[in-house]
Chains A and B, each alone.
Chain A
Amino acid sequence: MTSWRRNRDRELDEELHTHLEMAARDRVDRGEDAAAAAAHARREFGNILTIKEVTREAWGWRWIERLGQDLRYAARLLRRTPGFTLVAILSLALGIGANTAIFQVIDAIRLRALPVPNPSELAEVRLVEEVGVRGNFSSWHPSLSNPIWEQIRARQQAFSEIFATGGDTFNLARGGESRNVPGLWVSGEYFRSLGVRPAAGRLLDERDDRRGCPARAVLSYPFWQREYAGDRSVVGRTISIASTPVEIVGVAERGFFGLEVGRTFDVALPICADPMFGGRKGRLASGTDWWLVVVGRLKPGWTLASATTHLKTISPELFRTTLPANYPAISREPYLKLQLGAFDARAGISKVREDYSTPLWLLLGIAGIVLVIACANLANLLLARASARQREFAVRLGVGASRGRIVRQLLTESLLLAAAGAAAAVFLASTLSTMLVSFIKSADQTLVLDMALDWRVLGFTAFLAVLTSVLFGVAPALRATRVSADTILRGTGRGNSAGRERAGLRRVLVVCQVALSLVLLVGALLFARSLRNLVTLDPGFRSAGVLIAQIDLRPLELAIDARREARMNMVERARALPGVQSAAHAAIVPISGSAWGNDVWTDEAAARRHVSVAFNSVSSGYFATLGTPFVAGRDFDNAVDTPQSPLVAIVNETLAQALFGGGNPVGRRFTVESTPGTAERTFEIVGCVKDAKYMELREDAGPGAFLADSQEARGGAYAQIVARTSLPAATIAGEMTGMLADVDPRIGVTYTVMDAQIADTLLRERLTARLSGFFGALAALLTIVGLYGVIAYTVARRTNEIGIRMALGASRRAVVSLVLREAGTLVTAGLLAGLVLAILTARLAGALLYRVEPHDPATLALAAVSLAAIGLLASYMPARSASRIEPVDALRIE
């Protein structure tokens, strides 16, 4: 810019000189002598400097030059007060950095479209309402069965491309401890529809996705780099997935992670290869396995609304065709009434987004408030500076500077500070956002986010910079220039009315700071109490010291009848391991995310009333292992409860209450509805246990029933052993892996520490509690600094008055209380405003709280009292120094 500018200057110079020379030459041609001609020409020409100046004006960059001038001046001033500048830039960098970091995560998981061509065309096809859907659900996301997907593909006309995909976990180890990696099932259209190119080899297409296909795998780029160091010769080699060799056909392009933001995949397999991986053999034909997500690209001219209308039209016929033969009669009607719709999928689907959107927006709000409080401090500092510079402004106004010019100059200073702060914030933010992401990461949920700075993040930061500079700059600038030159120049500057007015503004700022900090402190305390409630609640079992082993028996290809024997055998051997106090089999481990629900009723009651019950299938010793006490009856017994003996069950207290209205349920009976897999069955209750949490800690324990694993005729090719031990988990895991290898080396196993698994379900609460606590403390600290500044300023300004008071006999104590009274007024006003604000805003956090009322009076009181206490403590220092004023010195200063 400047070099271009210099160039133009030189050119103008040359142009004007050429003009002069030509004028002189014309005069010489007309007969004047050379010297006279040059002199005349110059005189006729006029003042060359003035002409240059006015011509430059025509270039239209005067404002840039002025801005440059202002910037230079501002930079010089800021350099002259390095302490102030450093504090200002640092607090802005922290404030803006925290906001940017949170926004960066929000941007990555929520705002950004998928990194594929034309993401805006993507729409997901799913059920409008999931009522009457029965079977096994293998995804957190609403999903569809394979027959439904095939029918959609055959019938739909709204999409130019359509594909199905499902997430899964693939075990790469051949026996022994599992090596689970995130995997994808994809239909043949998947990669082409998303516009993904191969980085090596080729990608899966329709030819690979036919019933009975051989398994072929596509690797993700990061997995290829990590596992094979980017070796191109992997194409054509095989990889072992669940002990089955699979040919690698290619690698997907770099940066492609699938459809789920926050999750990535290592290996993708065609949907048709599902039967090769044992377990649920019939998933392709099964109408009761819900595992696929269907996404398409809308044809040009189609909207989500028109596609939904179209899908609703084809729904009746589609669901008639796919109605599973084994569907229980009661559920057929709802199934036939299911409807499909099209939903926006341009940003993909994401579990982190669903879990963390609300807390992240909330945290962004909190961080925003902290930034406002920091701005108030800066405004206070600038006001103090402005009063120190009053003489300068008065002189400038006096010699004719316009007020606007001085305001512009002061605002340039603020903007320069904000820009420096924002620049530092961008660097800080990338560290902070990485920390934030690693916080959200859990053992079983790896989080892979693209945290690149995009225009949205940079725009957000720039916006914050401008906003903050306006927030902390405008009021001081306007105040500073609202002076009459002769008052300042004539007066001493102390104790005049302008000064008092400015102190008034500073007081208002402090009151606002106190109010906002109180809101943040209340929030922090609410979240902390909510987390504490969750951590300390009694879930109905003791998770400490429990190790969970998920055992994959699929490679053994056991007959269904033999599986139970194998499970019972492994539980027996696990119990015998040194250090294991007790062990049992459990189909479902509480708070693991798995669930199994059915309706039950009892024929003993006059009217049949259905109760929705959470089920589990456990072996004897389960309740002892988890520490759930019996209320009545007995535990299962392998010797007594066999497949041939009458079916027995253990119920929890809530179910006993729901079925029989209290009393001892032992010996009574209930019936379980038929399911796609089993007919109606009646159980006799042999025991009753205390309630325990099932799906999550937040829920109220509901009706629960436990069936005897020893009577389970069917059961999958998996076993799950829970073991209580006092030894370190790793020791027991080692022993158990050895034991399983001894049973059969092909068995795969994955270990989970129950405590850690439960702690992972509270990540969100922990994140909110810790960050809001941190921000609350930061806000309080900033406020205290602000309060201290104002009180100290007031004391300095009233030195005179205090001196007189003391000379007239006021005691030191009276002076201290005088100052503290002033501080008390400010804090009280702030607290009152803050309480009103807190009550108004706390319900925003209501949904995130557990067993704490948003308006909990104890929390409000605690926050207010602690803020008041530290506030008074902060003002005590200036109060004490006020009481040390020597009356004589104070009066002599005048």
Chain B
Amino acid sequence: MPKTTRYENRIELLQGTLDLLILQTLQWGPQHGYGVAQAIRANSSDVLQVDTGSLYPALHRLERKRWIAASWKVSDNKQRTRVYRLTTAGRKHLLSERSRWTQLVEAMSGILNPAKRSEA
């Protein structure tokens, strides 16, 4: 049953975190939509699987906000692909979002692991 295994370890992405993941992924270089999805999946050891129904609206939304820019490139096997790259504004946004994320994670773990706090 491939369908069920596909959702086995899947974590529902929090609102807004997909944007952050896409920007972070594009930091390593321009990439097309499929590549972004693959990279997120690989870098999260298959835990995070991006739904195409969320990926493309997110990419297009980020493009409208001018955090990423798109252009058509011809790939190695002569295929036309739409490639996204991070813009300067996008890089700036990524930095601020990343620090907000870190704060959130620290706050969350502080609440979820109260024992640690009392030890400290």
Interface residue ranges, A against B (CB under 8 Å): 11-12, 14-16, 18-19, 21-23, 26, 40, 43-47, 50-51, 54-55, 57-60
Contacts and interface: CB of A to CB of B under 8 A. Distances in A.
B32 A59 contact: no
B116 interface: no
Given A12-B56, A15-B56, A58-B58, 11 more contacts: A18-B32, A19-B52, A22-B32, A22-B34, A22-B81, A40-B2, A43-B3, A46-B52, A51-B57, A55-B56, A55-B60
A471 B58 CA distance: 42
Contacts of B6: 44
Contacts of A12: 56
B80 interface: yes
Contacts of A51: 52-53, 56-57
B80 A58 contact: no
Contacts of A19: 32-34, 52
Nearest to B37: A19
B51 interface: yes
B81 to A, nearest CB: 5
Contacts of B82: 11, 14-15, 18
A51 B53 CA distance: 5
Contacts of B81: 15, 18, 22
A836 B103 CA distance: 69
Contact of A14 (B2, B3, B80): B80
A45 B58 CA distance: 15
B57 A57 contact: yes
Nearest to A18: B81
**3 closest pairs, A vs B, by CB?**
A58-B60, A58-B61, A58-B57
23 contacts: A11-B72, A11-B82, A15-B32, A15-B56, A16-B52, A18-B34, A18-B79, A18-B80, A22-B32, A22-B79, A26-B38, A44-B6, A45-B52, A47-B53, A51-B52, A51-B56, A54-B56, A54-B57, A55-B57, A55-B60, A58-B58, A58-B64, A59-B60
Contacts of A16: 52, 56
A59 B32 CA distance: 18
Most chain A CB within 10 A, of B52, B72, B80, is at: B52
A54 B3 CA distance: 23
B42 to A, nearest CB: 12
Interface string B64-85: 1000000010000001111000
Main secondary structure of the interface of B (DSSP, over half): helix
B53 A54 contact: yes
Main secondary structure of the interface of A (DSSP, over half): helix
B34 A23 contact: yes
Interface string B9-23: 000000000000000
Contacts of A18: 32, 34, 79-82
Interface string B25-42: 000000011100010000
A54 B56 CA distance: 8
Most chain A CB within 10 A, of B32, B56, B61, is at: B56
B64 A60 contact: yes
A51 B58 CA distance: 11
Contacts of B34: 18-19, 22-23
A440 B3 CA distance: 85
Nearest to A25: B77
A58 B67 CA distance: 14
A60 B66 CA distance: 13
Most chain B CB within 10 A, of A47, A51, A58, is at: A58
A60 B60 CA distance: 10
Contacts of B61: 58
Nearest to A50: B53
B59 to A, nearest CB: 8
B95 to A, nearest CB: 23
A736 to B, nearest CB: 82
Nearest to B51: A46
Nearest to A8: B60
Contacts of A47: 53
A623 B54 CA distance: 99
A341 to B, nearest CB: 54
B58 to A, nearest CB: 8
